[in-house]
Copies of this chain bind each other. A is one copy, B any other.
Amino acid sequence: MSGQGRGSISSKDLADLIGVNPWKIRKDFSYFGYFGIRGVGYEVDNLSKQIKKILKLDVVHKAALVGVGNVGSALLMYPGFGMYSFDIAAAFDNNPKKVGRKIGNVVIGDVSNLRPLRARKIKIGIIAVPHYAAQDTADKLVEMGVRGILNFSPRYITVPKKIKVITIDIAMDLARLPYYMPSC
């Protein structure tokens, strides 16, 4: 809406977009001390800025990708990360044919040396390696100071409690469909 030049939005319109009740919108924002203007609603630019701040998306986050196979390559080319202030600033693979190659803005490094993560203060790791290498990769990322991991490998990984892991299992997302589909 900001890109479309819209100045303000009511809690009702916001609620309709998301599919919740307007009072829930107003209540949730009020928790953060943010209140709309009666009869006008919320200023779009300011609201967007506040939400980004709440979600800690008001600064650019550098991420390092480990594993530049099909999934990893797709991630490197994916244009959507910028929208949330993410920057895949480094990528690593164990295939000598891939090391040194440039994909997007990133030159692929050798996975046996992840020390650049520490030097460059990269705190987010993305695991896109085969499942049998996932735990080892996670261990190395944590060792290099990573605090959050996005795991594309269909394998639970174990990390110290203070590290946040989000696992994306595309097959499992697909598997949710039939349950909700009418009679098939």
Of the candidates B154, B175, B180, B181, the one whose C-beta lies within 8 Å of that of A123 is: B181
Residues of A within 8 Å of B, CB-based: how many? 44
Residues of B close to A150: CB separation below 8 A: 173-174, 177
Cβ < 8 Å to B, chain A residues 136-184 = 147-150, 154, 162, 164, 166, 168-182, 184
Contact between A174 and B77, CB atoms less than 8 A apart? no
In the assembly, what is the distance between CA of A126 and CA of B171, in Å?
12
Contact with B along A101-144 (1 / 0, CB 8 A): 00000000000000000000001101000000000000000000
Residues of B close to A74: CB separation below 8 A: 70-71, 73-74
A84-B171, A171-B81, A171-B84 known; A180-B164 Cβ under 8 A: yes
Nearest CB of chain B from residue A57's CB, rounded to whole Å:
6
Contact between B80 and A169, CB atoms less than 8 A apart? yes
Nearest CB of chain B from residue A162's CB, rounded to whole Å:
5
Contact between A177 and B154, CB atoms less than 8 A apart? no
CB within 8 Å of B: which residues of A?
Answer: 55-57, 61, 63, 70-71, 73-75, 77-78, 80-81, 83-84, 86, 123-124, 126, 147-150, 154, 162, 164, 166, 168-182, 184
Since A123-B184, A124-B181, A126-B174 are in contact, a sample of 15 more A-B pairs with Cβ atoms closer than 8 Å, ordered by chain A residue number, is A55-B179, A70-B77, A70-B78, A78-B171, A80-B154, A80-B170, A81-B171, A84-B172, A86-B174, A147-B181, A150-B173, A150-B174, A166-B174, A166-B176, A168-B168
